[in-house]
Amino acid sequence: KNEVEQSPQNLTAQEGEFITINCSYSVGISALHWLQQHPGGGIVSLFMLSSGKKKHGRLIATINIQEKHSSLHITASHPRDSAVYICAVSPVGGGSQGNLIFGKGTKLSVKP
């Protein structure tokens, strides 16, 4: 079983819809990261969180440490949000290198 599971694997939405991507993990963590990868390959870090909730523009990330679960929400989705969204965790005891354990990603396609 993978230590970081994302759902759904693929998601198609209409422009303007509210989107939720889920991430569950089975290890103790120091922090959880949400990453975005656009077609073409480059990956950018969206959020790092270890508790509660963070918001940046139309993106909201939440984490429930007790339930070992995080969600990424996109409000008023737009075609430019089409990308692969990757959940990654910094495991406890990951050392000074900051190694991450990655989920397999959720491919989001927003249709106009």
Partner 1 sequence: DVKVTQSSRYLVKRTGEKVFLECVQDMDHENMFWYRQDPGLGLRLIYFSYDVKMKEKGDIPEGYSVSREKKERFSLILESASTNQTSMYLCASSLAGQAPYQPQHFGDGTRLSIL
Q: Is the CB of 26 or the CB of 99 nearer to partner 1?
A: 99
98 Cα distance to chain centroid: 18
CB 36 within 8 A of CB 80: no
- Give the footprint of partner 1 on this chain (CB under 8 A): 29-31, 33, 35, 40-45, 48, 50, 86, 88, 90, 94-100, 102-105
Which residues are CB-neighbours of 41 under 8 A, at least 6 positions away?
none
Q: Is the CB of 41 or the CB of 57 nearer to partner 1?
A: 41
Minimum CB separation of residue 90 from partner 1 in Å reads 4
Between CA 82 and CA 3 the distance in angstroms is 25
Whether omega before 8 lies within 30 degrees of 0, making that bond cis, reads yes
Q: Is the CB of 76 or the CB of 104 nearer to partner 1?
A: 104
Minimum CB separation of residue 88 from partner 1 in Å reads 8
Minimum CB separation of residue 32 from partner 1 in Å reads 10
